[in-house]
Amino acid sequence: MLALDHIVIGNHHIERASKQFSENFSVKSIKGGKHPNWGTYNHLAYLENDCYMEWLGIYDEKVAAKSDNPLIIHLQYVLANDTVGPFQFALRTNHLDSFVEHFKQKDISFLGPVKGRRTTPDGEELKWRMLFPTYDVKETMLPFLIEWEQSTPYNPVNDKQIKVVNYSGLDTEEFCHIYQMNQTDSSNNVILENCQLNFIKDNENFLDFSF
């Protein structure tokens, strides 16, 4: 079963944004690190149910502009249009290669696997791979898949949990087709390993979450 790995929050000033969120919701956030191949950096808030929030910003516009990583392309679009806030989320799997084969067999357009890495403030190097079903950032959003090379780097310093993610990119049936999930009933939600995903029909490119 897939799990929510993290919610990505775009902002021009991630230090300020993460600090403000921390003050408003009593959530401790920490400095993450830089992604030198993408020109981005992040702040993170690790939560009790093995997921986290990531505030993602750009520190090198030239490097970011050259990136073909769909997440970085989407981030640039978000910042250029000043639609800051949650804009993407990742689903965690330990079987990323099986999704590659699934996408090929079902003729689902995708990009990846894309390798990622960053060094933590403590000097630890983290590595992961991502797989992106293709989507047009101007029209919709499809969550991406992530597989960590090492055990998941979560240090749940917060006792809060993301219990519900609300999302408008797909309907339930199409989501289950792309992400190999079983739809158990006709309701507009899917149960992930660590939270519930609700599908919202009335909003375009809508994404939020609740504790």
pLDDT tens-place values along the chain, 211 residues long: 899 999 999 999 999 999 999 999 999 999 999 999 999 999 999 999 999 999 999 999 999 999 999 999 999 999 999 999 999 999 999 999 999 999 999 999 999 999 998 888 888 888 999 999 999 999 889 999 999 997 666 666 799 999 999 999 888 999 999 999 976 666 789 999 999 999 998 767 799 999 9
For the chain, report the end-to-end CA distance as a whole number of angstroms.
21
Residue 186, pLDDT score:
62
Residue-range domain boundaries for the chain = 3-153
Residue 184, pLDDT score:
61
For the entire predicted model, the pTM comes to 0.94
- Which of the listed CATH numbers 3.10.180.10, 3.40.50.920, 3.90.1150.10, 3.30.420.480 matches domain 3-153? 3.10.180.10
The Cα 102–Cα 108 span in angstroms is: 8
* Residue 205 near residue 141 (C-beta atoms within 8 A): yes
Preceding amide of 133 cis, omega within 30:
no
Residue 185, pLDDT score:
61
The Cα 8–Cα 179 span in angstroms is: 19
Residue 154, pLDDT score:
65
The two structure tokens encoding residue 173: 């049936």
The two structure tokens encoding residue 192: 């992930």
The two structure tokens encoding residue 116: 């990622």
Residue 55, pLDDT score:
98
Closest CA to 110 of 135, 146, 82: 135
The Cα 146–Cα 114 span in angstroms is: 9
